[in-house]
Amino acid sequence: MSIFQKSSGTWSLIKTMRPRVSGVWQNLKEVRTRISGSWIHVGHDPNYLFTWGRNDYYGQLGDGTTINKSSPVKIGTSTWNFIAAGRYFTMGILSNNRLYTWGKNNKGQIGDGTTTNRTTPTLIGSTTWRIVAGGYESAAGITQAYQLFTWGSNNAQVLGQGTTVAYNPTPTRVGTSTWKAVSAWAHMLAIRSDNKLYGWGSDWTGEVSGANTGTRGTPYAIGTCTWKAISAGGNHSLGIRSDNKLFAWGGDGYGQCGQGSTTSIRAMTQVGTSTWKAIAAGGYFSLAIRSDDKLYGWGRNDTRQCGIGMVTDPVLTLTEISKSNMDATDIPAQISASGGGSVSNGHGALLTKSGFLFTWGSSSHGQMGDGQSLTQSRPTKTVRRYSFKMVSCGGEHTAAITR
């Protein structure tokens, strides 16, 4: 179980244990305790998948229904390694490294060879996978052999396979290189095994090359630097270089590139002078964790998706995200940004090192996970019952794996 200690009015996690029964260590079932009238997380089985938010029409929550859920819903009894939410679909890698997908499938983004929507997790072939990325209507994944595959809509040649077919409902390998990271929306970014950066798909606002070149049908080398992290947004890109410097490029109509002004196309430009540890490019907004664990948001903020606690829209410069709802022990570990169901309805999510989940922005379909549909302007511990190790924001839904 998890042991909490109270200091100066704040409860902090100090140790996690599992009960020993008849000489055998057992998986811990969910236990909660009530402190000052509120239920808080104490412990539960790890690696379970929960989803919440928009589910109408397509079943992207994976619970077998098409009903929106404003509170977390457990999906089956399997355990999971990885989760990635696309616009109206979701993908997950099971603990046996097999890929399951579900939700909207009009362009084959589920990857099961059909265009039939799926409301429950559907096994995709027999390949084993490391990571996956959900885009607007397309998807990408890197196998255990470090091979890159894409599938779904090929609008703007986003599949990177050098073809102009409308869509491909079956995972198909991209080139012959090996890869270590991939991110997707209307364009895709990927880091090759030598840490070089490539992009393809829509380049109308320079989100691949930093200039309007229309589309890129195959992986295009972006400079000669090496990179640690990348994130593909609605029409812009973020990247952390190997020296931990942050760069942005592409569409900047809402200030999502963080340069203090707006322009239709922004060449790759360094953002500030600080060093950074995590990034998330959403639908025309950006989120990041600085090396000192401070949080920042910028860009479009019409549904308070920047998390800065203000109504300013757009936010043209990097603005620190309020931690007024967080304790001193809530150290940021992972951040995620939604692409938005359309242009708007953006939301963000943050995981702390202790596994607490904070969400903010639009909750039009319950994507905050707090049982309500209220917009949150700053990070709020909306899901208090569980502790998580991974979170992903989809168009208007959220998915997370317990720890």
In the block, tokens 């019952």 appear at 385
Domain with CATH 2.130.10.30 in the chain: 46-402
Q: Does pLDDT of 361 surpass 80? A: yes
pLDDT band at 2 (very low <50, low <70, confident <90, very high): very low
pLDDT for residue 345 = 81
pLDDT for residue 344 = 67
pLDDT for residue 3 = 43
**Is pLDDT larger for residue 326 or for residue 43?**
326
Enter the tokens of residue 72.
């977390």
Burial bucket for residue 199 (CB in 10 Å: 0-12, 13-18, 19+): buried
pLDDT band at 342 (very low <50, low <70, confident <90, very high): low
In the block, tokens 């229309």 appear at 214
pLDDT for residue 6 = 46
In the block, tokens 């904070």 appear at 358
Enter the tokens of residue 142.
């890197």
- Among 351, 287, 293, 349, smallest CA distance to 319 is for 287
Q: pTM of this prediction? A: 0.89
Q: Which of 107-116, 294-303, 343-352 has the lowest mean pLDDT?
A: 343-352
Segment 360-371 shows an average pLDDT of 94
Strand pairing of 315-320 and 332-337?
Answer: unpaired
pLDDT digits (tens, 9 = 90+) for 19-37: 443 344 344 443 444 433 3
Compute the distance between CA of residue 399 and CA of residue 394 in angstroms, rounded to an integer: 8
Segment 229-236 shows an average pLDDT of 97
pLDDT for residue 36 = 38
pLDDT band at 340 (very low <50, low <70, confident <90, very high): low
Q: Does pLDDT of 299 surpass 90? A: yes
Q: 280 with 296: CB under 8 angstroms? A: no
Q: 253 with 284: CB under 8 angstroms? A: yes
pLDDT band at 12 (very low <50, low <70, confident <90, very high): very low
pLDDT band at 310 (very low <50, low <70, confident <90, very high): confident
Residue type, 367: Q
Compute the distance between CA of residue 125 and CA of residue 98 in angstroms, rounded to an integer: 8
Q: 94 with 47: CB under 8 angstroms? A: no
pLDDT digits (tens, 9 = 90+) for 148-183: 999 999 999 999 999 999 999 999 999 999 999 999
Q: Does pLDDT of 14 surpass 70? A: no
pLDDT band at 352 (very low <50, low <70, confident <90, very high): very high
Segment 58-83 shows an average pLDDT of 97
Neighbours of 97 (CB within 10 A): 14
pLDDT for residue 291 = 98
Among the four given CATH numbers 3.40.50.720, 3.90.1580.10, 1.10.760.10, 2.130.10.30, the one describing domain 46-402: 2.130.10.30
pLDDT for residue 37 = 38
Compute the distance between CA of residue 212 and CA of residue 346 in angstroms, rounded to an integer: 26
Neighbours of 95 (CB within 10 A): 11
- For all residues of the chain together, what is the average pLDDT? 90
Segment 207-224 shows an average pLDDT of 95
pLDDT band at 45 (very low <50, low <70, confident <90, very high): confident
Q: 187 with 208: CB under 8 angstroms? A: yes
pLDDT for residue 382 = 82
Q: Does pLDDT of 137 surpass 70? A: yes
Three-state DSSP at 151 gives: strand
In the block, tokens 């709802």 appear at 325
